[in-house]
Amino acid sequence: MNGLNFINACLFMGYFIENTFLGNAMWKTIGIQYLWGISLLVWGFYFLFVKNKHSKVLSIILGIFLGLYNEAFFMVIFTICFYYIIHQIVKKDKLNKNTLYFVIPFIIAGIVMMIAPGNFARTSGMLAGQSLLGYIFHNLFDITIKFFSKFELSLPFILSIFMVFAFEKDIKTKVLTILCLVSISLTTFLIMFGLEIRVEMLYMLIYFYIICKYLFRSGFSYLFDKLYLFLGLS
């Protein structure tokens, strides 16, 4: 194991074991819930976008599966895709070949999930006759306080914003990434079934990824290599 992998492992263990992330993940595994969706999202992102493997079939299947998952997954992934497409247009870069094969089935599946009778009935019951905007406005203060009182969410969110602001050199990428992170966090206002720890896992994953991405591209990576060497010698 090299220094980077070692520090990655330490950060993961320190962040996710300290709270109830893993306990909830293992509990939900049996019900094929959030852990499977997160695992599939991470694997699909790595295979299709990091490794840039072109696969129409896999992109379509992944889009349908994640689109049908639940409201939190749909809103977060849709937000990421939206800002990714805007970023590529602004930067005049080509879209990843898998993007459209993923996004179109994903949106269609998400719409089907949103208008499903059971989901619609649950949302209507929670709104209690209010409009969605009325519900958000009425509960805006409570939802904001709840988000920032959950330190496993608010602290990584603030740190991820700081990391982008401090270490991203490209202005357009910096602005769009910060807007994306803020927009992702705002989707918590629209989650009708509550911001439970199993729901937080998805947001924690996004913040953790951004923090690590910029942390290991910064000058701190030199310190991590020295720390790994010191621990190895001791």
SS3 per-residue string spanning 63-115: HHHHHCCCHHHHHHHHHHHHHHHHHHHHHCCCCCCCHHHHHHHHHHHHHHHHH
111 or 135, greater pLDDT: 111
Query: What was the pLDDT predicted at 234?
Result: 46
The number of beta carbons lying within 10 Å of the beta carbon of residue 145 is: 10
pLDDT tens per residue, range 135-145? 666 667 777 88
What pLDDT band is residue 134 in, cutting at 50, 70 and 90?
Answer: low
Q: What is the pLDDT of residue 217?
A: 73
107 pLDDT higher than 90: yes
More confident site: 52 or 106 = 106
Domain regions of the chain by residue span? 35-115, 132-220
Q: C-alpha distances in angstroms, 119 versus 71, 75, 126?
A: 9, 15, 11
**pLDDT level of residue 51 (50, 70, 90 thresholds):** confident
Say what the pLDDT of residue 35 is: 72
Residue 55 burial by Cβ neighbours in a 10 Å radius (0-12, 13-18, 19+): middle
Whether the per-residue pLDDT at 108 is higher than 90: the answer is: yes
Average pLDDT over residues 107-130: 69
Task: Please give the model's pTM, rounded to 2 decimal places.
Answer: 0.76
Q: What is the model's pLDDT at position 47?
A: 87
Q: What is the pLDDT of residue 174?
A: 95
Q: What's the pLDDT at 170?
A: 93
Residue 122, pLDDT > 80, answer: no
| Averaged confidence pLDDT in the chain | 77
3-state secondary structure of 123: helix
CA angle 11, 203, 208 (to 5 degrees): 25
Whole-number pLDDT of residue 30? 45
**Interval 20-40 mean pLDDT:** 61
Q: How confident is the model at residue 31 (pLDDT cuts 50, 70, 90)?
A: very low
